Structure 1
């Protein structure tokens, strides 16, 4: 399996294209999807789903354009649906224009398949109520959104944030993954389960 990273949008949110054979999924298209479309075309990939770890605007700004260009469904968790009625989900703050509304389908946690590869979807609230983590064992990687970063964790001071829920999500669904699992976050460099278990100053003692 191949994973390509594209920092997109005003906040340079990490967007990922995970491909398996000729099928691909995109995780968190946070800006103009033109680079994603160029990559898909150059590699001869068919996009089968657009996965949102959560519905903050800097992770979803490219949702509508990418879905319209490819026909791929947008998947997210219902618990974040209320965000689309707020600036956190719609944008319109920090000098940025509001996003066009997009249609999306609820995705519940559990075992599923994306791009022909097994995936475990974890409900990992804390940064937002509906935050999801996508673990692809064949790729040895988990897409964690803004739950956990290299040596840091996601903000919990936004409406819907909960520091204790975030720590519980990490403890139960991230730190239980194989130690060598790559953690692909919404911002900054990638890290691993073992690295964060041993060195993350916000999550000591896990």
Structure 2
């Protein structure tokens, strides 16, 4: 599986395009997806799914345009749907634009397949109630949205956020993955499970 990163939108949300044997999925297209669409055409890739880690506006801006351009199915958790009735999901807060509405299909935690590759969908709430992480064992990669960053964690002061829930989710769902697993976050650089276990101040011996 190949991974291509596109920082999109006003908050430079990492949109990841995962590809395998001519098929692709996109994770969190948070802005105008022209670069993603061009890449799919250049590489002759068929986008089958758009995976959404959570329903915060900065992860949603490009979904409708990418969905219309490719016909891909949008996949998300069900526990975040209420956010689409607020500025946190719809956009409009802090002067940011509104999110174009899109259709989606809810998915449950468990074993799934995308691009014919096994994917373990993990419920990782805390940043938002319905936050999902997508773990591809064969690629040794997990896409965590904003629940975990390089040396940091996601904010928990937005509706449905809970710091204790977030820490539990990361500890039980992410840190139990193989230590070499690459962690692809919603913003900033990638890391690894082992690196964050040792060095992330919210979890390591450096915590105060």
Aligned Cα root-mean-square deviation (Å): 1.0
**Which residue of structure 1 lines up, in the alignment, with residue 201 of structure 2?**
201
TM-score (normalizing by structure 1): 0.98
Output the CA distance in 2 between the equivalents of 1:167 and 1:133: 14
- Structure 1: gaps (5+ residues): none
Tell me which stretches of 4 or more aligned residues in structure 1 moved more than 6 Å. Answer: none
Output the CA distance in 1 between the equivalents of 2:137 and 2:35: 26
The total of aligned residue pairs comes to 206
**Which residue of structure 2 lines up, in the alignment, with residue 84 of structure 1?**
84
**Which residue of structure 2 lines up, in the alignment, with residue 118 of structure 1?**
118
Output the CA distance in 2 between the equivalents of 1:91 and 1:125: 21
Shift of 1:94: 2.2
Deviations 1:2-38 (A, max 9, x none): 0000000000000000000100000000000101000
Output the CA distance in 1 between the equivalents of 2:80 and 2:55: 6
Give matches, 1:47-196, under 5 Å. 47-196=47-196
Output the CA distance in 2 between the equivalents of 1:169 and 1:199: 18
Q: Find the residue that maps to 2:177 and give its secondary structure.
A: coil
**Which residue of structure 2 lines up, in the alignment, with residue 44 of structure 1?**
44
Output the CA distance in 1 between the equivalents of 2:20 and 2:159: 37
Shift of 1:116: 1.2
Output the CA distance in 2 between the equivalents of 1:75 and 1:88: 19
Shift of 1:99: 1.3
Shift of 1:142: 0.1
Shift of 1:97: 1.6
- Structure 2: gaps (5+ residues): none
Output the CA distance in 2 between the equivalents of 1:80 and 1:103: 14
